[in-house]
Structure 1
Amino acid sequence: MLKHWPPLTALRGFEAAARLGSFHRAAEELHLSQSAISQQIRGLEDYLEQPLFFRQGRSVSLTDAGTDLLATTQAMLRQLAGGIRRLDQYRKPHQLIVSASPAFARHWLVPRLGDFRRRHPGADLWLLTSETPPDMASQTVDIALGDDLQPQPQCQHHVLLQDRLYPACHPSVMAQPATERTTLHGEREWDWSQWQVQGGADVGQQRAGLNFSEPGQLLDAACQGLGIALVSELLAASACTQGLLQPLHAYRVDGPQWSWLLHDDSACDPLVLSFCEWVLASLKPGDD
């Protein structure tokens, strides 16, 4: 009977578009082009011989048939995701799958993995990095670490620490006149507006300069002497110790909250628990 089913990829595209109310947002979530999503849904509608969406400019809404199919599709995908997660029991022993944001992985986690490896030499650790938090229900991930993690079903959400931000630059930039320093701009918490809104002093920052969408790249650019940046106290600690960064001001403002998502199925795994304990111990002041 499976040969008479519509393609699973088309059902995934339909579910995402229906849930998000947008073909464009569905394409972003599934890492496809908008035309690919549109083609999948047109093919699905042709297969079912009825429309599933009302098209209204860039937004879409479900027809009655689409609403009915959405409930069936979501139930099917949830059951499939649960079945995939149950396969975890057949994984290699001592396997640990960690998801982290690129900035946290590059500037905090990876430099410390040698210590974890020495403590747990038998661990088979896999590190996945993505700007988008993982879907813990459908992806095989034991623990996710990052600054933009929201609670998810079947997971323990734990806030690790409240980060602080401050302006800093490479010593070579410190020697330049303030008016000649390039300003490095980030997004979200790493934007200079956070510094100004929370009472930070003028340290010569300008509206124009170099712009970075990823905080790890912003920190790399500052360490390479490209300009002044608003940096994370947590992520920049090693760079400061190595003399690659110097603070421009003693004042600090609130930055992102770092947290983890621990899947309930992994919460009793001794290796996962050891990793969690290691992360907590490593985050204590003075670990650098």
Structure 2
Amino acid sequence: MLKHWPPLNTLRGFEAAARLGSFHKAAEELHLTQSAISQQIRSLENYLEQPLFFREGRSVSLTDAGHDLLSTTQVMLQQLTVGIRRLEQYRKPNQLVVNTTPAFARHWLVPHLGDFHRRHPEVDLWLFTSDEIPDMTTQTIDVAVRDDISAQADCGFRVLLQDRLYPACHPRLLAQEVQQRTTLHGEREMDWSYWHTQGGEGVGQKLQGLNFSDPGQLLDAASQGLGIALVSALLAEQARVQGSLVALTEQTVRGPKWAWLVHRNSEGEALTVSFCQWLEQRLAGSSGLNGDPAPAR
């Protein structure tokens, strides 16, 4: 592994020259002299101990090593650019950073955000999704709303609701024979083994089928008619209202607990208080948790 990285300016000069096929054009783009670009490229080649360009008079072309490095450099610079631009979010006035899972964001929070924005237009909300549980002590996050978190240091922790799970499918699958329906498998509580251990009745689920690690994708697949799935009552609320998902039985079982973490530096701030109060009210009124869903007849 390299002990030192080449200077960033040499990589920028290399990327521009390689992309444009010209040291002169690269110099114009970066507002440098052509000799400065040439020096950067020579410095990078000396560092890597191999040529990156074929030089033929005023024209240049990439060596095989140059082509290889170009793809890597472009990805790296793009990621760096995006990361630096993202930092602007932290300087905005009235900024509120909310972390949640991609599934909760897509299937519950985003469909309700219009209501929050109408009520609190002063809040500049940044929705930051992640599969991993955030570390609130090291990440700049005001509120985390997830079904996989527990108490953390320097944070207020509160369980908001107990989700319910039930088997469901797209209405058109009801016309199929039970044995013909594909079974969709999820992870954690969305695995059919959990339904079985909680005393769930059989609805024709099979061991084989299609498998999903993300509960949001599992719900999408069920809503599109790919098969039967064990779904979250909270996340499936919109799909049921839209008529793309129906319950296969009146029975439900206990699902994951949705909770929030609120960083102590944000707990008393008006923006955080507004969001948390709104969130509690909306969750309390979620139709997916007001009793068991009625199965299709």
Q: Give the alignment's TM-score, normalised by structure 1.
A: 0.68
Tell me the residue number matched to 1:100.
100
2:194 partner amino acid: Q
How far the C-alpha of 1:173 sits from its partner, in A, is: 1.1
Cα distance in 1, alignment partners of residues 287 and 114 from structure 2: 14
Q: Equivalent residue of 2:208, what SS?
A: coil
How far the C-alpha of 1:198 sits from its partner, in A, is: 1.0
Tell me the residue number matched to 1:186.
186
Q: Which has the larger radius of gyration?
A: 2
2:265 partner amino acid: D
Cα distance in 2, alignment partners of residues 217 and 287 from structure 1: 21
1:129 partner amino acid: T
Q: Equivalent residue of 1:166, what SS?
A: strand
Q: Percent identity?
A: 60
Matched, 1:261 2:264: no
Structure 2 gaps of 5+ residues are 5-86, 289-297
Cα distance in 2, alignment partners of residues 212 and 222 from structure 1: 11
Tell me the residue number matched to 2:167.
167
Q: Equivalent residue of 1:266, what SS?
A: coil
How far the C-alpha of 1:238 sits from its partner, in A, is: 1.1
Tell me the residue number matched to 1:272.
272
Q: Does structure 1 retain, via aligned residues, the 8 Å contact 2:237–2:286?
A: no
Tell me the residue number matched to 1:249.
249
Cα distance in 1, alignment partners of residues 92 and 169 from structure 2: 45
1:1-288 pair list within 5 angstroms: 91-286=91-286
Deviation string 1:154-201 (CA, Å, 9 cap, x unpaired) is 001110111010000000111111000000000000000111111111
How far the C-alpha of 1:281 sits from its partner, in A, is: 0.2
Q: Give the alignment's TM-score, normalised by structure 2.
A: 0.66
2:138 partner amino acid: S
Cα distance in 2, alignment partners of residues 119 and 150 from structure 1: 29
1:136 partner amino acid: M
2:271 partner amino acid: L
Deviation string 1:229-283 (CA, Å, 9 cap, x unpaired) is 0000111011111101010000011111000100000001101100000000001
Cα distance in 2, alignment partners of residues 111 and 119 from structure 1: 15
Cα distance in 2, alignment partners of residues 282 and 239 from structure 1: 17
How far the C-alpha of 1:285 sits from its partner, in A, is: 3.3
How far the C-alpha of 1:121 sits from its partner, in A, is: 1.2
Query: Where do 4+ consecutive residues of structure 1 move more than 4 Å?
Result: none
- Structure 1 pair 286–140 and aligned structure 2 pair: CA distance change class (3 A): closer
Q: Aligned pairs, how many?
A: 203
Cα distance in 2, alignment partners of residues 182 and 109 from structure 1: 29
2:168 partner amino acid: A
- Structure 1 pair 232–106 and aligned structure 2 pair: CA distance change class (3 A): same
How far the C-alpha of 1:287 sits from its partner, in A, is: 5.6
Cα distance in 2, alignment partners of residues 258 and 110 from structure 1: 16
